[in-house]
Amino acid sequence: MRIEKLNETTKKNLLEDLLKRSPNSYAAYEKSVQEILDNVCEKRDSALFAYTAQFDGAQIDATNILVTDGEIKEAYAQVDKNLLCIIRKALKNIESYHVKQMQYSWFDSKPNGTMLGQKVTALQRVGVYVPGGKAVYPSSVLMNIVPAKVAGVDEIIMVTPPGKDGSIHPTTLVAAKEAGADKIFKVGGAQAIAALAYGTESIPKVDKIVGPGNIYVALAKKAVYGHVSIDSIAGPSEILVLADETANPRYVAADLLSQAEHDELASAIFITTSMELAEKVSDEIDVFTAELSRKEIIQKSLDNYGHILVADTLEDAIAAANEIASEHLEIMTKDPYQTMTKIRNAGAIFIGEYSSEPLGDYFAGPNHILPTNGTAKFFSPLSVEDFLKKSSIIAYSKEALEAIHTEIEQFAEAEQLTAHANSIKVRFEK
């Protein structure tokens, strides 16, 4: 990996590189995505089945688009029993973490006859998108469904692309069943997002769509926002490791590569105060890359979006990390907890040399669906709150309103909204 001194120029160049990966830069694909959305909205199932044949090579129709109980039972027979135990342990950890995020309704009554509050209600129906085809992501299945289940969503609809034989990978099906999906449909891509957003004869319209996907899925979610809610528009994966001279170079190198292997657009950034450590990490990366199965993808990711930056001070390194606002941030410094208190922007923060990023991907419990492309400055990880909505509660007695009615009327008249004022005034006519 390239090694550079951290300064305003290198930081500016890095940020410009990362912006090129944003879904907002995919304008060339928007027309194609919109055509798919419009076609599914108009022709519904017939368009859905045609696109599945075209893009996935699978013959799906109304008789086999919904995964059956028999298919799920068959999937359980095919999944390794040890893996099933691991999925269940991870599920328990994820559920335990998300239960602590639950919010509840509250009401505040006063002796003067007023009652204010907030009614918290789970969404009625949500759609979960899970990538498929050659990829198998049971961890994403758990991370999307569990917080919705904890929130109390009535119906969870999962969509995922089928293989050419029309089947879904058994591990994906087992994870979905364990997590609590109510229905699973064999459809993926922008057409699946359209089906969830508009509804078809087979797939019901949902209130919100969550889950990561490719460029077409990201742009489709962006386009249907407003018809339904969405969690976020996910970009390529990214990791930033922040370390001083006390860090183990093999650990740093291994963790950087854990994200670089996702795809060629993935970003791996290392910021350190030690040139010696930077050089050792670069050497270890070369050794690991030569041995790993996805070395071609890793090398392209590192060539395009891999950076090692050497800062003069830890404060400069922390400031750069906050400006980059990485999806995953690992801290390997002498006092990582002290460093953590100065981090303002990150999707997930991993503290200490034994808190490797894959721990969060699979097992620890916090959600691994995180803000990318600098959006950690204003977005949060997927959580139970994403599946809840809130209604304000207002109740005044006649006596409570009478004490303030002239003030409300005056406020309304100041805005020249006389009907507003009249709505209060008529209640106290002589």
Residue whose pair of structure tokens reads 């590192």 in the numeric block: 302
Q: Length of the chain in residues, anyone?
A: 430
Compute the Cα dihedral for 22, 24, 26, 32 and give only its sign.
Answer: positive
HSE-CB of 367 using CA atoms within 13 angstroms: 27
DSSP strands (E only) in 135-254: 155-160, 183-186, 208-210, 229-230, 238-243
Comparing C-alpha atoms, which of 280, 284, 269, 286 is closest to residue 245? 280
Comparing C-alpha atoms, which of 161, 128, 157, 132 is closest to residue 48? 161
- Of the residues 238, 327, 353, 409, only one is catalytic, namely 327
Element housing 117 (H / E): strand 114-122
Look up 74 and say whether it is catalytic: no
- Of the residues 328, 330, 353, 409, only one is catalytic, namely 328
In the chain, what are the helix, strand and coil shares in percent, each to the nearest 5? 50, 15, 35
Structure token digits, residue 116: 């204010």
Residue whose pair of structure tokens reads 């691994």 in the numeric block: 368
Catalytically active residues, by annotation? 327-328
